[in-house]
């Protein structure tokens, strides 16, 4: 078949700006760097590291191993870690009292890390679900089958002070109780802990993507699905999420977080447009697990896919990203089986 040789007279040829690697790099609008990443670290009391079955390549570490892992991340440029506990069932109760133990697992790990690497930023979760027998983020009233909001907030304030005194840089309330950011800020200030920042899980949805995380911290219930829809956000509601972010900013949050990240890029973008505060996003366990599982089946290229996923979160407006891919990003593991 004959082809016409007539040239199109085009003023604009966008492909000129995609013609070579050099040009593509020159005009690149967004990039993810190691400075954007926050690495979640799961801690346990003792024993050898344990791989989390639903999160291949992610482990629970006893305190000294958690310290070594954190130091390795920091030496490779990761600026911050987020600590999460997995405590024995025997240490749990209905009120999550172990969360208030100043010599508990997470306060001990914080002190060790800050002593060895004071410049490594440490973020600690403020919620009761890893410590409660029922797995909820607050105090569960079995008679009304509701979470007691104001009682929970009081306990979270106590927990935040414990973490602040241990040396944490940011407390991260992830519970979604009403008024907890303002109460925690006031409580920290009253305890002369005004240096401790509040990184609020401001827009946290009741997502199906959290399952592997609940395995990791041991908060999944044997009876099955744990319904947190009375306090976490409806995935269908954007405006409600923007209201939560606005309230947390007014109450004194230093950083606002959207969780999950990938399925909620529109929410990240809207929050970014409405605040001058830094915006964080959490690429959650289910996002990690689905990419890894597809790669292990040969359906996706692991590195290309997770980097694209991170880039999309940054492009949506996140200033920082909680991600389980941080070790791979900095070359700490060249496979998910080592």
Specify binding-site residues.
244
How many whole angstroms separate alpha carbon 162 and alpha carbon 240?
31
How many whole angstroms separate alpha carbon 329 and alpha carbon 73?
10
How many whole angstroms separate alpha carbon 244 and alpha carbon 251?
11
As a dihedral over the C-alpha atoms of residue 94, residue 322, residue 214, residue 57, rounded to 10 degrees, the angle is: -140
Three-class SS of 170-234: EEEECCCCCCHHHHHHHHHHHCCCCCCEEEEEEEEECCHHHHHHHHHHCCCECCECCCCCCCCEC
Pairing relationship of beta strands 121-126 and 139-141 according to DSSP bridges: unpaired
Binding residues for Mg(2+): 244
Residue 69: count of CB within 10 angstroms of its CB = 20
Gyration radius of the chain over CA positions: 22
- Quick check: 290 and 300 in contact, CB under 8 A? no
Active-site position among 204, 228, 270, 314: 204
Active site residue 6: no
- Give me 202's structure tokens: 């401001």
What count of residues does the chain have?
Answer: 338
Residue 307: count of CB within 10 angstroms of its CB = 15
Active-site position among 44, 92, 259, 270: 259
SS3 60: strand
Specify which residues 132 forms β-bridges with. Answer: 93
> Tokens 């241990």 belong to which residue?
166
Active site residue 204: yes
- Residues that are catalytic: 204, 259
């Amino acid at each position: 078949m004959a082809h016409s040789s007539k040239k199109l007279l085009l003023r604009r040829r966008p492909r000129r700006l995609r013609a070579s690697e050099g040009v593509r790099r020159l005009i690149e609008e967004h990039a993810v760097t190691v400075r954007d990443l926050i690495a979640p670290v799961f801690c346990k009391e003792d024993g050898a590291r344990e791989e989390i079955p639903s999160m291949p390549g992610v482990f629970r570490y006893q305190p000294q191993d958690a310290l070594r892992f954190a130091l390795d991340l920091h030496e490779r440029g990761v600026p911050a870690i987020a600590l999460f506990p997995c405590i024995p069932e025997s240490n749990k109760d209905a009120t999550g009292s172990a969360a208030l133990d100043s010599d508990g697992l997470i306060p001990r790990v914080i002190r060790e890390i800050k002593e060895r690497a004071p410049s490594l930023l440490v973020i600690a979760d403020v919620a009761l679900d890893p410590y409660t027998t029922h797995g909820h983020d607050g105090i569960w009233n079995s008679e009304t089958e509701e979470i007691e909001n104001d009682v929970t907030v009081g306990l979270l304030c106590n927990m935040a002070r414990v973490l602040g005194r241990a040396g944490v840089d940011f407390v991260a309330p992830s519970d979604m109780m009403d008024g907890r950011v303002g109460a925690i800020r006031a409580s920290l200030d009253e305890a002369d802990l005004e240096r401790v920042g509040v990184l609020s899980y401001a827009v946290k949805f009741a997502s199906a993507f959290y399952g592997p995380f609940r395995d990791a911290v041991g908060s999944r219930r044997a009876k099955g699905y744990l319904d947190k829809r009375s306090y976490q956000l409806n995935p269908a509601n954007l405006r409600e999420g923007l209201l939560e972010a606005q309230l947390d900013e007014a109450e004194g949050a230093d950083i606002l977080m959207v969780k999950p990240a990938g399925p909620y890029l529109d929410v990240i973008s809207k929050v970014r447009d409405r605040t001058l505060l830094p915006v964080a996003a959490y690429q959650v366990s289910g996002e990690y697990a689905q990419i890894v599982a597809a790669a292990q089946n040969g359906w996706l290229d692991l590195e290309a896919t997770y980097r694209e996923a991170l880039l999309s979160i940054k492009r949506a407006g996140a200033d920082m990203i909680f991600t389980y891919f941080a070790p791979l990003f900095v070359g700490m593991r060249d496979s998910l089986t080592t």
